[in-house]
Amino acid sequence: MIRRKVIAAWAGALLLMGTAGCQSPLMSLETQVAKPDPAPVAAPDPAPAASTQAQETVPAVPVWRNPPSRWAVHNRRTQALQQQVPASEIQQIPPQVVATSTASDKPIYVDSRGVSRVAVLLPLSGRHARIGKAMRNAAQLALFEFAGKSFELMFLDTGGSVDGAREAAVTAVSDGAALILGPLLSESTRAAGAIAREAQIPLVSFSSDAAAALPGVHILGFRPETEVRRVVSYAASAGLRRFAVLAPSNHYGDRVVAEFRSVVADLGAEVSRVSRYGTSADSYNDVIRDLADYDYRHQALMEQRAQLEVRTDEVSQMTLKRLENLQTIGDPDFDALLVADGGRRLQEVAALLPYYDVDPKVVKMLGTGQWDTQGIGVEPALVGGWFAAADPALRAGLMTRYEQTFGAKPPRLITLAYDATALAAVLVRGAQDGPDYSDPTLTQPKGFIGTDGVFRLNANGLGERGLAIMEVRERTNVILDPAPQSFDDPAY
């Protein structure tokens, strides 16, 4: 009961960053919700037999016993929440339930006068269903933890397609959504955004593609442009002046290279090399060999060795001996190399760099948010490298609650759905005259603070974030330069 009063009082105030002496509605998000009890998730009627493991096992994609309808409605009388929230939390989190119909797939509508309806568009089927369902789970967590009686969620499946996103947006508009969250993909965002703009309903997409941004269509995802500018700027402040970039030949790579050129020019530094590669391992090999100027440096070594071999003085012979185990002489013509990739391809590309004598002890390796995974240090060439990303400590509590509630490790992107839903719910709870999802409210210059740190939505649709500089270690990643706490911070 105490916790319920704290949340209600805090959310009701709706204090945005920039208000004198106040913080964002998402400030200290992890401290505003009680941490789940480490006990197993309680089922409504646990079996009396020795089946502890069964009681602890929760489906990776939890659902209510009946298929969920579109609208998730606040209802204090139901105990259905016990199916996916620890028993110790039931008295602390205002229960939420999904109204369902067993007769058809149409939702049972409740009296929604004064109720804010928010649609969430996600790929709940198709090739991206796993991430879509996980993001739905995260949105439900935010619903449980922040929503009041006047807030409803509707989950609509885009199927991961443009047509599906368009149809979902049409449904959201026709069913009275005041705000649309999602979709996840860039092309889907363009399709849904066109419908939302025509209906004058704001849309906050989980995409990271700046090309999909428009006034009223906001991009909440992690934009590589922000990551590139942050890490290159930090490297320049550390004294590095000659920059090279190694990026895939795709849309993501195009965006990285464009921002790379822009920020290096802004800093008055030098673009030494721009190298692009395709999807095959053969293309990595040839491109990195050229990037390293390996053939020229190898030839220079051969020529110096030939000159030393004809000399008989002691100094020449000692120098020749030192060159015996080298493949090249001299260093590449860059101090820092931005490697804009992630996953297995990053590991494969990085392994070729020292092979062609790009020494990580001489050249500082830089990365984007795609480096933001544990275990990246298994590739020695990346150890000591820097990349820009959200502070992982900020989202740790959410990740733990998700795993305890749903019985599965969450994918990285769930924070987008959680923060967007929490923001939408809090804006409703603090409003005196109904929900305010107007452009001035959503585009507060001071922004908000969520589980990935400070962020803001701009009038042009582009989202901005304050990011930390992380350094790769063998076993983990550590913060080298903290993320800014506000957009007034010089670090931003």
Query: What distances in angstroms separate CA 17 from CA 190, 415, 448, 473, one per listed residue?
Result: 30, 20, 6, 34
> Per-residue pLDDT tens for 438-464?
999 999 999 999 999 999 999 999 999
Mean pLDDT of the chain: 78
Q: Is the pLDDT of residue 156 over 90?
A: yes
Q: Categorise residue 18: left if φ over 0, alpha if ψ from -120 to 50, beta otherwise.
A: left
Confidence band for 431, pLDDT divided at 50, 70 and 90: low
Question: Which residue has tokens 């995260």?
Answer: 138
Question: Omega before 38 cis (within 30°)?
Answer: no
**The predicted structure's pLDDT at residue 270:** 98
pLDDT recorded at residue 355: 86
pLDDT band of 149, cuts 50, 70, 90 = confident
At a CB cut-off of 8 Å and minimum separation 6, what does 351 contact? 379, 381
| Cα–Cα dist 427/25, whole Å | 8
Question: Which candidate, 35, 141, 157, 149, places its Cα nearest to that of 81?
Answer: 141
Count of other CB atoms within 10 angstroms of residue 11: 21
Domains of the chain from N-terminus onward: 2-222+392-461 (3.40.50.2300), 224-293+332-389 (3.40.50.2300)
Is there a contact between 368 and 398 (Cβ–Cβ < 8 Å)? no
What pLDDT does residue 84 have?
36
User: What pLDDT is recorded for position 193?
Assistant: 98
Tens digits of per-residue pLDDT, 236-252?
999 999 999 999 999 99
pLDDT of residue 148 exceeding 90: no
Q: What is the pLDDT of residues 125-146, one digit of tens each?
A: 999 999 999 999 999 999 999 9
Going 106 to 108 to 113 to 118, the CA torsion angle's sign is negative
- What is the model's pLDDT at position 51? 33
Look up residue 32 and give its amino acid: Q
The answer to whether 72 and 98 are in contact (CB under 8 A) is: yes
Q: Which residues, 6+ apart, have CB-to-CB distance to 136 below 8 Å?
A: 61, 120, 122, 124, 155, 417
Please, are residues 269 and 338 in contact by the beta-carbon 8 Å criterion?
no
* Better-predicted residue by pLDDT, 313 or 219: 219
Read off the pLDDT of residues 349-400 as tens digits, 9 standing for 90 and up.
Answer: 999 998 888 999 999 999 999 999 988 999 999 999 999 999 999 999 999 9
- Contact present, 231 and 368 (Cβ < 8 Å): yes
- Residue 295 has a pLDDT of 74
Output the pTM of the full model. Answer: 0.75
